[in-house]
Structure 1
Amino acid sequence: MGSAGDDATAAELAALLRALEQGRSRRTGFPGGSGFDYRPLAPFLHHELTDPGDPDAGTTADHHTRAMEREVVEFFADLFHAPTQDRWGYVTTGAAEGNLYGLYAARVVYPDGMVYLSDTAHPSVTKAVELLDMSSVTIRSLPGGELDCVDLRHVMDRHRTRPAIVVATAGTSTTGAVDDVRQIHRVFRDLALSRHYVHTDAAYGVHAALLATEPGFDLADGADSISVSGQEFIGTPFPSGAVILRRSLHERVTRADTPGTTETVVGGARNGHAALLLWYALRRLGTAGLRGRAEHARDLAEYLVRRLTELGWPTWRNPHGYTVLLKAPPAELANRWRLSIVDGWTRVSCLPGVTRDQVDRFLAELREGAAPRVPAQPTRLRPRVPATAA
Structure 2
Amino acid sequence: MAAMEVERVRCATTGYAGEEEALPLPRELSVEDLQKDVLLSLLPENGSSPKILDLLTAADKREENGVAGGWRRKGEGEGEGGKGQGEAEVCDGAKPQSIAGARTDNNSRRSMRCRSLPITEPEAEDEYTGEKEAYMAAVLARFRHTLEERTRNHLGYPYNLEFEYGALTQLQCFSINNLGDPFIESNYGVHSRQFEVGVLDWFARLWELEKDEYWGYITNCGTEGNLHGILVGLSLQQGLAGTTVKGAVDDLDCVIATLERCGYPRDRFYIHCDGALFGLMIPFVKKAAKVTFKKPIDSVSVSGHKFVGCPMPCGIQMTRMCHIERLSRNVEYLASRDATIMGSRNGHAPIYLWYTLNRKGYQGFKKEVADCLKNAQFLYLRLREAKFGAMLNSLSSTVVFERPQEEAFVRKWQLACQGKIAHVVVMPSVKVNKLEAFVRELLASRKKFFPDGVVVPPCIADELGADNCECPDCHVA
Q: Which runs of 5+ in 1 are unaligned?
A: 119-145, 147-171
Q: Deviations over 1:161-207 (max 9, x none)?
A: xxxxxxxxxxx421221112222222222222221111110001211
Q: Distance in 2 between matches of 1:258 and 1:189?
A: 37
Correspondence for 2:390 among 307, 310, 315: 315
2:325 matched to 1:251?
Answer: yes
Q: Deviations over 1:135-170 (max 9, x none)?
A: xxxxxxxxxxx4xxxxxxxxxxxxxxxxxxxxxxxx
Task: Verify the 8 A CA contact 1:178 1:217 in the aligned structure 2.
Answer: no
Q: Tell me what 2:293 maps to.
A: 219
State the Cα distance separating 1:240 from its structure 2 match.
0.7
| Identical positions, percent | 27
Q: Tell me what 2:62 maps to.
A: none
213 and 269 in structure 1: CA distance in 2 versus 1, 3 angstrom threshold:
farther
The count of residues paired between Structure 1 and Structure 2 equals 329
The one-letter amino acid paired with 2:276 is A
45 and 213 in structure 1: CA distance in 2 versus 1, 3 angstrom threshold:
farther
2:260 matched to 1:189?
Answer: yes
Q: Deviations over 1:62-98 (max 9, x none)?
A: 3211111001111111222224541121111111010
Q: Tell me what 1:78 maps to.
A: 205
Task: Verify the 8 A CA contact 1:79 1:209 in the aligned structure 2.
Answer: yes
Correspondence for 2:414 among 318, 338, 342: 338
264 and 187 in structure 1: CA distance in 2 versus 1, 3 angstrom threshold:
same
285 and 77 in structure 1: CA distance in 2 versus 1, 3 angstrom threshold:
same
* Range that drifts further, 273-282 or 82-91: 82-91
| Superposition map of 1:1-390 within 5 A | 1=122, 2=126, 3-28=130-155, 30-107=157-234, 110=235, 113-118=236-241, 146=242, 172-194=243-265, 195-205=268-278, 206-254=280-328, 262-331=337-406, 332-371=408-447, 375=457, 377-381=459-463, 385-390=464-469
Q: Distance in 2 between matches of 1:319 and 1:387?
A: 17
Q: Distance in 1 between matches of 2:325 and 2:319?
A: 10
Task: Verify the 8 A CA contact 2:400 2:421 in the aligned structure 1.
Answer: yes
State the Cα distance separating 1:297 from its structure 2 match.
0.7
Q: Distance in 2 between matches of 1:82 and 1:264?
A: 19
202 and 388 in structure 1: CA distance in 2 versus 1, 3 angstrom threshold:
same
Instruction: Name the TM-score, length of structure 2 as normaliser.
Output: 0.65
Task: Verify the 8 A CA contact 1:95 1:240 in the aligned structure 2.
Answer: yes
Task: Verify the 8 A CA contact 1:203 1:232 in the aligned structure 2.
Answer: yes
State the Cα distance separating 1:209 from its structure 2 match.
2.0
Q: Deviations over 1:272-318 (max 9, x none)?
A: 10111111111111011111111111111011111112212211101
Q: Distance in 2 between matches of 1:64 and 1:83?
A: 25
State the Cα distance separating 1:348 from its structure 2 match.
0.7
Task: Verify the 8 A CA contact 2:330 2:338 in the aligned structure 1.
Answer: yes
SS at match of 1:55: coil
State the Cα distance separating 1:40 from its structure 2 match.
1.0
The one-letter amino acid paired with 1:388 is D
The one-letter amino acid paired with 1:229 is S
Task: Verify the 8 A CA contact 1:28 1:350 in the aligned structure 2.
Answer: yes
84 and 272 in structure 1: CA distance in 2 versus 1, 3 angstrom threshold:
closer
The one-letter amino acid paired with 1:389 is N
Q: Distance in 2 between matches of 1:369 and 1:269?
A: 46
Q: Distance in 1 between matches of 2:248 and 2:308?
A: 19
The one-letter amino acid paired with 1:311 is A
Instruction: Name the TM-score, length of structure 1 as normaliser.
Output: 0.78
Q: Distance in 2 between matches of 1:276 and 1:252?
A: 29
75 and 373 in structure 1: CA distance in 2 versus 1, 3 angstrom threshold:
farther
Q: Distance in 2 between matches of 1:356 and 1:316?
A: 18
RMSD: 2.2
Q: Distance in 2 between matches of 1:373 and 1:181?
A: 41
State the Cα distance separating 1:326 from its structure 2 match.
1.2
The one-letter amino acid paired with 1:201 is D
SS at match of 1:325: strand
Work out which structure has the larger RCO, using CA pairs closer than 8 Å and 6 or more positions apart in sequence.
1
Q: Distance in 2 between matches of 1:253 and 1:197?
A: 16
The one-letter amino acid paired with 2:391 is W
Q: Distance in 2 between matches of 1:189 and 1:236?
A: 38
303 and 31 in structure 1: CA distance in 2 versus 1, 3 angstrom threshold:
closer
SS at match of 1:312: coil
Greater Rg by CA: 2
State the Cα distance separating 1:378 from its structure 2 match.
4.2
The one-letter amino acid paired with 1:27 is H
Q: Distance in 2 between matches of 1:24 and 1:248?
A: 43
Q: Which runs of 5+ in 2 are unaligned?
A: 1-121, 448-453, 470-477
SS at match of 1:88: strand
Task: Verify the 8 A CA contact 1:98 1:227 in the aligned structure 2.
Answer: yes
